[in-house]
């Protein structure tokens, strides 16, 4: 596609702001989602999880998290400086699918050589982040889907941004299948540690597109940069870097005390 080519929103007629690599664009004027690969409206249901934490609320969450838990340096909350905070709505595909994996193999872990076969059936709501090469820890993030609503631009705070998806639902389905085959295999290895054959059968129920709010908080401790990711709907820390223990003797002793007495 040429750089000069402009694509208009099917919902309101405004030109869409195209960024390299993005495929499913949500119009910044009306919130309509368009698949620019096909030029058609994106037919999936588009939902969002509203954000509950503003800048101040998120700072409070960070303070509380830093002061809590025996693995953290005791002076962490006092000595850390937040250097940057941003609220981003990330685009996820939720692939609802049934998977049946038929397997055959041997169980040799106890020294025997038992031949086994069977079916492993599971139902999944598998998350696929619609961005390529992202380091976001998708597996550690429970999207609070119970709170989802229809996508509505007016519910995205003005200081926040949302990201468009870099591939569409067909690619998301393929990615989910590859990840699920791996996951099913991992589960089956409990039964059969030497798999000789495995066939997966997928029944895709539906795929949904959801923008979910995540705070990215950068902070400094002892001149080193760390990062915390917070679910802005629940306030849960999705993943937070913890600095290594304080190296000074005083710090060491107070860390030990904290580990034992929790203070």
Give contact residues for Zn ion (rule: CB under 5 A): 9, 11-12, 14, 27, 29-30, 32
Closest distance to Zn ion from the beta carbon of 31 (Å) = 7
Question: Minimal distance in Å, beta carbon 43 to Zn ion?
Answer: 16
In the complex, what is the shortest distance from the CB of residue 25 to Zn ion, in angstroms, rounded to a whole number?
10
Structure tokens at 193: 């540690």
Is the CB of 25 or the CB of 176 nearer to Zn ion?
A: 25
Q: How far is the CB of 212 from Zn ion (least distance, A)?
A: 22
Closer Cβ to Zn ion, 12 or 256, answer by number: 12
Q: How far is the CB of 16 from Zn ion (least distance, A)?
A: 8
* Best CA proximity match to 167, nearest among 212, 207, 213, 203: 207
Token pair for 159: 């200081």
Of 18 and 198, which CB lies nearer to Zn ion in the complex structure? Answer: 18
Which of 14, 256 has the CB closer to Zn ion? 14
Give the 3-state secondary structure of residue 248.
Answer: coil
By 3-state DSSP, what share of the chain in percent is helix, strand and coil, each rounded to 5? 20, 40, 40
- H/E stretch holding 208 reads strand 194-221
Beta partners for residue 220, in sequence order: 81, 225
Q: Which residues of 214-224 are buried (b: 16+ CB within 10 A; e: fewer)?
A: bbbbebebeee
Q: How far apart are CA 9 and CA 215, in angstroms?
A: 29
User: Whose Cβ is closer to Zn ion: residue 163's or residue 242's?
Assistant: 163
Alpha helices in the chain (DSSP H): 55-66, 76-79, 169-188, 249-261
Q: How far is the CB of 155 from Zn ion (least distance, A)?
A: 16
Identify whether the C-beta of residue 243 lies closer than 8 Å to the C-beta of residue 113: no
Which CB atom, from 13 or from 118, has the smaller least distance to Zn ion? 13
């Amino acid at each position: 596609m040429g750089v000069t080519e402009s694509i208009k929103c099917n919902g309101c007629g405004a030109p869409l702001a195209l960024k390299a690599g993005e495929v499913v664009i949500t119009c910044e004027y009306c919130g309509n989602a368009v698949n620019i690969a096909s030029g058609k409206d994106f037919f999936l249901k588009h939902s969002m999880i509203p954000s509950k934490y503003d800048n101040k609320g998120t700072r409070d969450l960070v303070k509380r998290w830093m002061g809590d838990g025996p693995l953290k340096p005791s002076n962490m909350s006092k000595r850390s400086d937040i250097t940057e905070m941003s609220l981003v709505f990330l685009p996820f595909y939720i692939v609802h699918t049934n998977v049946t994996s038929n397997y055959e193999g041997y169980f040799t872990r106890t020294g025997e050589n038992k031949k086994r076969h069977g079916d492993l059936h599971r139902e999944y709501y598998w998350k696929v982040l619609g961005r390529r090469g992202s380091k976001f820890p998708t597996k550690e993030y429970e999207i609070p889907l119970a709170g989802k609503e229809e996508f509505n631009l007016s519910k995205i705070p003005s200081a926040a941004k949302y990201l468009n998806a870099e591939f569409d639902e067909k690619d998301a389905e393929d990615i989910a299948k590859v990840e699920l085959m791996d996951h099913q295999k991992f589960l089956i290895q409990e039964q059969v540690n030497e798999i000789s054959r495995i066939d997966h059968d997928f029944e895709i129920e539906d795929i949904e597109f959801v923008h979910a709010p995540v705070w990215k908080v950068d902070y400094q401790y002892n001149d080193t940069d760390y990062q915390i990711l917070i679910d802005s709907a629940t306030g849960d820390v999705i993943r937070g870097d913890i600095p290594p223990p304080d190296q000074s003797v005083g710090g060491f002793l107070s860390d030990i005390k904290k580990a034992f007495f929790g203070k």
